[in-house]
Chain A
Amino acid sequence: MHDHSIQCIHDPLLAALSYLVAVLGSYTALQLAIGIPTATDARDRTRAVVAAGAAMGGAIWAMHFIAMLACQMDLQVSYDVALTALSALIGMASCMAGLAIAGSGVFTLQKIGIGGACMGLGVAGMHYTGMAAMRMAATIHYDFSIVAISVVIAVVASAVALWLAFNMRGVAQMFGSALVMGVAVCGMHYVGMFAASFEPTEENPASAIAGGIGGAYLGATIFGVTTVLLATVLAISVVRQQRRSLVRI
C-alpha cells in the first residue's frame, strides 16, 4: 500500500449486515438447492438449479454492495451499470453451474470439489467484476498474493458449505451450510478488499463518477434483493411444512 493511498474504513454495523444478508441468501439458495437431487424430471431440475443459483448469486451480489456501502472512503464513488449487472450475472451463472454439479447423481467428494470451485470462482468473479465497476477519481491496485488467498477462501468455504448442504441432514444441513457459505462470501470479500489499495488520480471527481449509479440507487436495489430473499425463505418454509404434513405413510 502506498502512503498516499485512500483508506477504506468499514462501518461495523453495515459489515455485520453484509454477513447477515450473505447467510440469509445462502440459506435460501441451499434450501432450494437440496431439492435438485429429488427433482422428478429435467424441467423440475432446471427450475431448482436456476432458482437456487439466482438466489445464491443475488445474495453474493447484495452482500458485496452492502459491504461496499460499508466501505467509507474520502472519495466519491459510483458504479458502472453494465459491469454491475455483469457481476450479478457472473455470480448467478457460476452458482447455477456449481449447484447443478454438486446436486447431480450420487454424492461424491469430487463433485463437491468441482461444485465448490465453480461457486468459489463465481464469488471471486462477482467481487472483482463489481470492483471493476467502481467509478472514482482513483485507481485500484491489488496485492495478488492476497487476491489468491481470497479466492482460496471462497473455493474452500464454498466446498465445505456444499458438503454440509448435500451430505448432511437436519440442523447442520439447514443452518451449518448457510453459516459457512456466509463465511465464504464475506471472507472472500473482506480479504479481497484488504488486497486492494486505492490510489487517487488527478481526474475531476465529478466527471469520474458521471454516468454511474450512486449509493442511493444501489441501496434500493439491495433492499429489493434482500426482500425477495426473505420472502423466498418464508415461502420455502411454508411449502416444506405443507409437503411434510401431506406425506402419506
Chain B
Amino acid sequence: MADIEFRVVSDRREGLLLELGRLIQTSGFNLLRQRMARTDEGVVLTMLVRGPEQNLLQLEDRIGSHALVQSFEAAAAEAAAHAPAPAAAPEPARARPQTDHPAEAHAAPTAAPTPDLVRVEPLLASIAREYPNIFNRVLTFEHALPLAQREATTRYAGSRVGAWIYKRDYALGARLGLADSIRHIAFPAMRHLLRGTELGDEGLRVHNSPFAGVGLHRNTACHFLRGCLEGLLNEPGHLGRPRIVETQCRNAGGDVCLFTFAA
C-alpha cells in the first residue's frame, strides 16, 4: 500500500472532486482527505490517497488525461509532508502537466534516468510554433543532452507532443479501440510528421526516421517517435497504457523503424 498526495490544478470547481474521486475509487485507491482552494493558478485540489502501488501509474494516467485536469503533481505522502504549502508556486522542474508521462516523471524507486523537464519546456514551445516541421529542432535538442538522459527526455517530449496533436486534431469523435486508434489516429498523425510511414500487419513502419544514423544512440534511436505514439494513444485515457515498442530500427541495422503495439 502506498500513500500518495496529488495536487491537481483545474479551471473548474464543479464536479472536480466527484469526477476524480470516482477515478481514485475505480483504480483501487481510497481517498483519505482532500482540500480545495481557489488560487491564482486556478482551482487547486489536494488529495491524499491510499492504495496498491502497482495501480499508481494507471491512476496517474487517468488523472493526467482527465478533461477537468490542467496539471497535476504526485508525491509520496512522506515527501509531501515536507513539501511547500499548497499555495506556494510549484518548482518548475517538478511541475506535472496534464499530458505528463507517469512512468518517467514519477519519483520511481528504480535508478532509471528521469527526463529533464526543465529543458523540455522551451523545446515544446518551439515545436508548437513550427509543427509539423519539428525534427531539426528535436535533433539539435537531443544532441545537446547528456547521453544518459537522451532516451528518457526525448521520449517524454514526444509524449507531450503526441498528446498535444491528439487534442488539436483527433479528439473529436468516438472513443476508439486500440486497433482503430492506431489506424485512424496514430498512423495519420505520424504520416503527417513523416511521409514515409506505413501501417502494416506487424505495426507502424517508418522508412525515413530522422533519428536513425545520426550518431545519437547505438541501438534503437527513435525514442521521440515512440513517445509521440504513446502520447497519441494515451491521451484519450480509455485505452489503459498500450505498450509501444520499437522492435526494429534503421539505426540498429533494420530495413525500417518498426513500432509494435500491445494492449
Contacts and interface: CB of A to CB of B under 8 A. Distances in A.
Contacts of B180: 107, 167
A244 B168 contact: yes
Interface stretch (A35-43, A80-88, A130-138, A223-231): A35-43
19 contacts: A34-B172, A34-B174, A37-B173, A37-B175, A38-B171, A41-B19, A106-B174, A107-B175, A107-B176, A166-B174, A167-B173, A167-B174, A168-B173, A169-B184, A169-B185, A170-B169, A170-B188, A173-B173, A249-B125
A102 B175 CA distance: 11
Interface in A130-184: 165-170, 173
A106 B176 contact: yes
Contacts of B128: 249
Most buried by B among A102, A167, A169, A170: A169
B161 A249 contact: yes
A169 B188 contact: yes
B170 A169 contact: yes
Most buried by A among B97, B127, B128, B175: B175
B32 interface: no
B184 A38 contact: no
B7 interface: no
B174 A37 contact: yes
A42 B128 CA distance: 32
Looking at chain A's contact residues, the main secondary structure is: loop
A106 B238 contact: yes
Interface of B: 14-15, 19, 67-68, 97, 124-125, 127-128, 160-161, 164, 167-177, 180, 184-185, 188, 238
A35 B175 CA distance: 11
Contacts of A103: 174
A105 interface: yes
Interface residues of A, number: 22
A13 interface: no
A9 interface: no
A166 B127 CA distance: 29
A247 interface: yes
A40 B67 CA distance: 6
A3 B93 CA distance: 85
A165 B125 CA distance: 32
Interface in A49-76: none
A40 B68 contact: yes
A110 to B, nearest CB: 12
A41 B13 CA distance: 13
Nearest to B192: A170
Nearest to B131: A249
Contacts of A35: 172
Contacts of A248: 97, 164
Nearest to A170: B188
Contacts of A37: 173-175
Interface string A234-249: 0000000000100111
A167 B188 CA distance: 14
A249 B177 contact: no
A41 B15 contact: yes
A247 B167 contact: yes
Contact of B168 (A38, A102, A247): A247
A168 B164 CA distance: 19
A169 B238 contact: no
Contact of B174 (A41, A107, A244, A247): A107
A168 B125 contact: no
* CB-CB nearest 8 A-B residue pairs: A107-B174, A166-B174, A249-B164, A34-B172, A40-B67, A249-B128, A249-B124, A106-B175
Interface in A24-41: 34-35, 37-38, 40-41
Given A247-B164, A249-B160, A166 B173 contact: yes
Given A34-B173, A38-B172, A40-B68, A167 B125 contact: no
Contacts of B97: 248
Contacts of A102: 174
A167 B176 contact: yes
A168 B184 contact: yes
Contacts of A170: 169, 188
Contacts of A106: 174-177, 238
B254 to A, nearest CB: 29
Contacts of A166: 173-174
A38 B67 contact: yes
B174 A249 contact: no
Nearest to B71: A248
Nearest to A173: B173
A166 B67 CA distance: 19
Most buried by A among B14, B170, B174: B174
Contacts of B176: 106-107, 167
